[in-house]
């Protein structure tokens, strides 16, 4: 059952129904060239800054700038170095200084053009610049289009962990063009599919049967289905007060710890999450009664996209456990895990023992 509609040009719209600030996610081939037109529907023409990275800028910056100019905006472009190291407080300071130098005030609009790093970094800058200016997400990676661009979580990494410094700041609009995914290297495309597999595991098991590692084109409907899953969960728990939004952390408890312990850059986010999904499946089998068949169905999907399922050999249990203790999901001395009773039936638990976590780390490390 879907709630997204197509306009005459073939663009799909998925509403994100936050009570205070609802917005739309517009998805379709060629949508990136309509950024200016779509932006006018949510913000008056004026000064706008487009924040992107050194990988995305040569591919799509000119098209977005031309679209904005045609719509009557006065655009500025800021390019940050590609990669996770840019997602830090120094990057926020750099962005804000550049926006001040460009004469952008509280009436300006920010557009985040790129993957999850750009979206998180630029979104947090929008949250704090002049105590908050509106922004639009234009995601260009799988993980950003199906996950990180939706929901309003913005932030940067700290030395002690991923995404520990940030704010909730909802975009005014999300513009997703699945054609941008065609340009992704195989590794970057596949790592984003880990988030699709996560959504399938917690909400839509039938989606596992629709995934095709050879397909890069015609993905608008798949992106829309994932956005709809994410939107329904986050709209019901915008600020993580009811616990429902925590379901999106399936695979992330150990996944983030592994990513942090490995050092940002060794594993892509989705690769670390893939290993975290494997861990969560093993714990689900032990603590939630997940069947072997359901577990293998998810693992088969991860294998189909060449995603890693085991922890790099050089990482120790202590490194990973230490990273877990600093994670924002570690609360009041307990680590919350999202586990599956069956596919599509997740639960949140805090009774997973440290011994069980150590055992799973040992299994996934081949020790």
- Which residues are annotated as catalytic? 131, 153, 195, 230, 240, 245, 249, 252, 256, 269
Do strands 345-349 and 337-342 pair parallel, antiparallel, or not at all (unpaired)? antiparallel
CB 131 within 8 A of CB 143: no
CB 14 within 8 A of CB 24: yes
The pair of structure tokens assigned to 267 is 């594993």
CA distance 196 to 147: 8
CB 46 within 8 A of CB 71: no
In terms of DSSP H, where are the helices of 139-237?
142-143, 186-202, 220-236
CB 271 within 8 A of CB 308: yes
DSSP 75-125: EEEEEE-SSGGGSSHHHHHHHHHHHHHTT--TT-EEEEEESHHHHHHHHHH
CA distance 267 to 191: 10
In terms of DSSP H, where are the helices of 4-104?
35-40, 62-70, 89-101
Q: Which residues contact 178 (CB under 8 A, 6 or more apart)?
A: 27, 28, 29, 145, 218, 219, 220, 223
DSSP 231-289: HHHHHHSTTS-SSGGGGGGTTHHHHHHHHHHH-BTTB-HHHHHHHHHHHHHHHHHHHT-
């Amino acid at each position: 059952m879907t709630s997204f509609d197509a306009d005459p040009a073939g663009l799909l719209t998925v509403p994100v129904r936050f009570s205070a600030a609802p917005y739309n996610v517009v998805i379709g081939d060629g949508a990136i060239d309509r950024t200016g037109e779509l932006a006018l529907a949510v913000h008056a023409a004026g000064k706008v800054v487009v924040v992107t990275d050194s990988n995305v800028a040569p591919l799509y910056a000119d098209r977005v700038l031309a679209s904005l100019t045609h719509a009557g905006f006065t655009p500025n472009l800021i390019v940050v170095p590609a990669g996770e190291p840019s997602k830090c407080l120094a990057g926020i300071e750099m962005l804000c200084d550049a926006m001040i130098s460009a004469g952008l005030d509280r009436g300006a609009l920010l557009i985040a053009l790129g993957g999850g790093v750009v979206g998180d970094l630029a979104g947090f800058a929008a949250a704090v610049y002049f105590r908050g200016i509106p922004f639009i997400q234009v995601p260009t990676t799988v993980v950003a289009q199906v996950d990180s661009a939706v929901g309003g979580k913005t932030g940067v990494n700290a030395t002690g962990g991923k995404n520990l410094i940030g704010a909730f700041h909802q975009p005014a609009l999300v513009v997703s063009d699945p054609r941008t995914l065609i340009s992704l290297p195989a590794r970057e495309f596949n790592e984003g599919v880990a988030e699709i597999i996560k959504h399938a595991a917690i909400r839509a098991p039938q989606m596992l049967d629709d995934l095709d590692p050879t397909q890069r084109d015609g993905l608008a409907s798949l992106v829309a289905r994932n956005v709809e899953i994410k939107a329904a969960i986050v709209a019901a728990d915008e600020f993580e007060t009811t616990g429902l939004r925590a379901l999106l952390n399936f695979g992330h408890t150990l996944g983030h710890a592994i990513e942090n312990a490995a050092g940002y850059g060794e594993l892509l986010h989705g690769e670390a999450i893939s290993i975290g999904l494997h861990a969560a499946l093993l714990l689900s089998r032990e603590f939630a009664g997940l069947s072997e068949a359901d577990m293998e169905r998810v693992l088969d999907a991860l294998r189909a996209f060449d995603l890693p399922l085991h922890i790099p050999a050089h990482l120790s249990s202590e490194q990973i456990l230490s990273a877990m203790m600093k994670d924002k999901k570690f609360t009041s001395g307990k680590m919350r895990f999202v586990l599956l009773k069956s596919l599509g039936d997740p639960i949140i638990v805090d009774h997973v023992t440290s011994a069980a976590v150590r055992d799973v780390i040992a299994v996934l490390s081949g020790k």
